Structure 1
Amino acid sequence: MKIVVISDTHIPKKAKRLPEKLLVDLAAADLIIHAGDWQTIEVYEEIKQYGQIAGVYGNVDGKEIMQMFPDKILLECNGYTIGVVHGHGKTLTTEQRALAAFEEENVDCIIFGHSHIPVKKYINNILLFNPGSPTDKRRQPCYSYGILTAGTKLHAEHVFFESK
């Protein structure tokens, strides 16, 4: 199962459209996960053309997105439990908030966004994965998104690129 993971698209503020590189992977995805900060409903409308979407809202999303998506979700993907949250808040770090959001759950992976910083690491046997941003790299060297493969193992990788 191929899952494309994106977050912090911030369209139209940071880009006019999604990068071509990302669109190619979206077309081949079994599932698309968006970890919030879509910015507008038009981003959802574009992405849904590529397949099934699961997502959450982020701190810059408006009422339309907040009515369509919750602040966090649990997904079952090919036998793995994946928690998704944007990660915004006032206390702790973004990673700590993401972990805290699922501290009462038995998850294999936590996907989060907010910081625009790509993260792939294990904490207490939980895969913590932030795809970064395909449109707003902030102080990162590259734009990025993620691909999770849910097979005999849960494998995560970032796709990095220099121009959107």
Structure 2
Amino acid sequence: MPTRLLIIADTHLPLRAKALPEEVWAAVEEADVVVHAGDWVDVALLDELEARSARLVAVHGNNDHGVLRERLPLVAEAEVEGLRLGVVHETGAKQGREQRCDAAYPHLDVLVFGHSHIPWDTTTPGGLRLLNPGSPTDRRRQPHCTYLTAVVDDGGLGEVTLHRLPPRVPPRG
């Protein structure tokens, strides 16, 4: 049976939003593995994701301090159905990213990263798949807040889907 992944990063709670969108929480409930590529900001989301997800693979980001840095690594690696998955917050500038990641992570099949808030899906010359889900709460200069879902089947990464969230409506008052 395929393994379902939910991939998020740069949630910045509660600075950019009060909570994750309900659509993302529904995806948490459906996922077999939740991947978070850092910039949580507050430990409450980590606690909630640990409680509500079947399996969490996560790292801290540059905006995470204190308890988040104590509980989360800079780089995480996991095997999912034979797929060698890595997670890191930052990979550096867009220029040269593929070559840097090939050199730094030659043993991985997929590397998930965050930081830029820009969705990214490429395969390096060395065959490493690079995925950035964007942000479900802080679109910055992107047209939409986003996250990714993916399927792992028989040791390979199958369908990867970029989900665009509807714009948040500010409360009236």
Check whether TM > 0.5.
yes
Provide the C-alpha distance between the structure 2 equivalents of 1:49 and 1:95, rounded to a whole number of angstroms: 38
1:82 aligns with 2:88: no
Partner deviation per Cα, 1:43-72 (whole Å, 9 max, x = no partner) = 112222321211000000011010111100
* 1:36 corresponding residue in structure 2: 38
> Does structure 2 conserve the Cα–Cα contact (< 8 Å) formed by 1:87 and 1:95?
no
> Does structure 1 conserve the Cα–Cα contact (< 8 Å) formed by 2:135 and 2:146?
yes
- The 1:99/1:83 distance shift into structure 2, 3 A limit, reads farther
Between 1:77-86 and 1:144-153, the stretch displaced more is 144-153
Provide the C-alpha distance between the structure 1 equivalents of 2:96 and 2:6, rounded to a whole number of angstroms: 20
> Does structure 2 conserve the Cα–Cα contact (< 8 Å) formed by 1:39 and 1:61?
yes
Provide the C-alpha distance between the structure 1 equivalents of 2:88 and 2:123, rounded to a whole number of angstroms: 17
Could you tell me the TM-score, scaled by structure 2's length? 0.86
> Does structure 2 conserve the Cα–Cα contact (< 8 Å) formed by 1:86 and 1:98?
no
Partner deviation per Cα, 1:120-149 (whole Å, 9 max, x = no partner) = 111121111000000000010111111121
> Does structure 2 conserve the Cα–Cα contact (< 8 Å) formed by 1:110 and 1:126?
yes
2:51 to 40, 49, 52: 49
How many residue pairs match? The answer is: 162
User: Identity rate of aligned residues, in percent?
Assistant: 32
The runs of at least 4 consecutive aligned structure 1 residues that moved more than 4 Å come to none
In structure 2, the gaps of 5 or more residues are 169-173
1:3 aligns with 2:9: no
